[in-house]
A and B are shown apart, each in its own frame.
Chain A
Amino acid sequence: MDKNSNAYTFIFAIAMVIVVAVTLSFTATSLQPMQAENVRQEKMQSILSTFVGDSVTIDGQKQELSRSVASKIYDDFILEELTLDNKGDLKEGENAFQVNLAKQLSLEEDKQTFPLYVAEFEGSRFYVVPLRGTGLWDAIWGYVALKEDANTIEGVIFDHKGETAGLGAEITTDWFQERFVNEQIYNESGEIVGVEVVKGYGGGDNKDDNKVDAISGATITGDGVSKMMENRLKHYKPYFEKVKKSGKVATR
């Protein structure tokens, strides 16, 4: 057959596309369960690490909080997974762990579902709020653990899809996330403003001003973190107010 004929070209193209498509879809389908499990375990690891830290003591043995360890101990520490609406009431029939924040963000505020994890660790109670927003190039997300007063931050964890390595991607590092510890999310007038990432911050270790120092060269990612914290956290205010009034966590 003439290699330059139209028929040959078409047949070659079709055959190639079929072979490649079959190979790729076979790989993707057969690996999908493992990938999904990795993602699930990583989510558990992220949620736990905001208040547990990098390592955890199980049966007297100190272990690194790896993905597999996290998935084992997740149910021991997470008391409740709540889904709320923006008035602070419980939404029935939804699984907080399965809520896709990326999809929720595209909805109107009164239609969104706000997941909240209530945890207990070493005798104290923590509220873990999932965050999601946009950085410079793509999505950024994270979890923030609040202490029992629903105001002081116990710990945060951030992650990103495609921020610049060495600049915006540094939001995933411990030294940046440690800056948020013990910061307050309420401002002086009692509104939730989150924590702002400020360039050239001179406040040192001041924990009362809702501000932390930014990463040089990562201004837009830092602004994204500030916006993400404020935009997500403020919707939990009605719920936190209710809890404070009643003195206990509303349960199902």
Chain B
Amino acid sequence: MEDKKIKNSEENKSEKKKEMIMFLSSSEEKEHFLSKANRKILSDPLDDNNPITVQVLGICSALAITVQLRPAIVMSLAVVFVMAFSNVIISLLRNSIPSRIRIIVQLVVVAAMVILVDQILKAYAFDVSKQLSIFIGLIITNCIIMGRLEAFALGNGVYKSFLDGIGNAAGYGLILIIIAFFRELFGSGKLLGYEVLGHKGATLAESTGLYALGYENNGFFLLSPMALIVVGVIIWVQRARNRKLVEEN
């Protein structure tokens, strides 16, 4: 009798445990919007898994549009928009896309989003659209977008894909803005078009700020190779700070 009782109580306990587990897992399904896992999806691409400095994707546009800060910022915003929504669309369609033509489907979705952005900008924000000119079309060729669609959106839920799109576009934009900051500052002595280092006149006497002391802009920063060198320096700094990224051998 007593044995049975003990057994019973043990069974009860194990059942309770099961319930507990059930309860936990159901609460996991109803995950909080900004749970730890979701936050990680959002923040990982900013540092540990940065598209440019760690995955080495999207280098091409990092060279092309980082001469000045303003186009770099607008480009980053456009990429955030395109990436978030193409990730969402592909994630919605992920169970019905035939795997043989999935890359084409991704390409069509990205291209459609980019054309949509371009058309809307031309109608409602003509000046911004003029500033971006060809770069907006070049978003289509951004390897990060295709990469994330293929690697994440095809296998994950809508909300997570949305976060992943925002996170990766932000990680890309962050590096873009850092490069553009240095290139505009050292290359033309300006930030967002403002002459932060003083005005460079025709002669030393007409100059103000640093230029009056004989400072010269470094024209090399305006050329694409300097963007690669800046990317290199960023990777160096990032790895010195974040030991996880350093390979063993």
Instruction: Please list the residues of chain A having a beta carbon within 8 angstroms of any beta carbon in chain B.
Output: 3-4, 8-9, 12-13, 16-17, 20, 23-24, 27-28, 31, 34-35, 38, 42, 67, 137-138, 160-162, 164-167, 204, 216-217
Q: Is A31 a contact of B119 with CB atoms below 8 Å?
A: yes
B residues neighboring A (CB under 8 Å): 64-65, 67-68, 71, 96-101, 104-105, 108-109, 112, 115-116, 119-120, 122-124, 126, 133-134, 183-184, 187-188, 202, 219, 222-223
Contacts of B100 in A (CB 8 A): 4, 9
**Complexed CA–CA distance, A42 and B126 (Å):** 9
Known contacts A9-B100, A31-B119; is-contact A165 B124 (Cβ 8 Å) = no
Q: Enumerate 30 A-B pairs (CB-CB under 8 Å) in ascending A order.
A: A4-B98, A4-B99, A9-B100, A9-B101, A12-B97, A12-B105, A16-B108, A17-B108, A20-B108, A20-B109, A20-B112, A23-B112, A23-B116, A24-B115, A24-B119, A27-B119, A27-B120, A28-B119, A35-B119, A35-B122, A161-B133, A162-B133, A164-B64, A164-B67, A165-B67, A166-B67, A166-B68, A166-B183, A166-B187, A167-B67
Q: Give Cα A162 to B137, complex, Å.
A: 11
Cβ distance B96 to chain A, nearest Cβ, rounded Å: 7
Assuming the contacts A31-B119, A31-B120, asked whether A167 and B222 have C-beta atoms less than 8 A apart, the reply is: yes
Complex interface: chain A residues within 8 A of B219 (CB): 216-217
Q: How far is the CB of B246 from chain A (nearest CB, A)?
A: 34
Are A9 and B120 touching (Cβ within 8 A)?
no
Secondary structure call for the B interface: helix
Asked if A12 and B98 make an inter-chain contact with CB atoms under 8 angstroms apart, the answer reads yes
**B210 nearest CB across to chain A (Å):** 18
With beta carbons under 8 angstroms apart, the residue of B67, B104, B115, B124 that contacts A34 is B124
Closest chain B CB from A41 CB (angstroms): 9
How far apart are B113's CB and chain A's nearest CB, in angstroms?
Answer: 10
- With a CB–CB cut-off of 8 A, which chain B residues contact A28? 119
Q: Note all chain A residues with C-beta closer than 8 A to B116.
A: 23-24, 27
Provide the residues of chain B in CB contact with A161, threshold 8 Å.
133-134
Contact B124 A3 (CB under 8 A): no
Known: A28-B119, A35-B123. 8 other contacts (CB 8 A): A4-B98, A4-B100, A9-B100, A12-B105, A27-B120, A31-B123, A165-B68, A216-B219
CB distance from A76 to the nearest CB of B (A): 23
A35 to B124, CA, bound (A): 8
Given A4-B99, A12-B97, A16-B105, A24 and B112 touching (CB < 8 A)? yes
Which residues from B are CB-within-8-Å of A137? 134
Determine the distance from Cα of A24 to Cα of B118 in the docked complex, in whole angstroms: 11
Shortest distance from the beta carbon of A160 to any chain B beta carbon, whole Å: 8
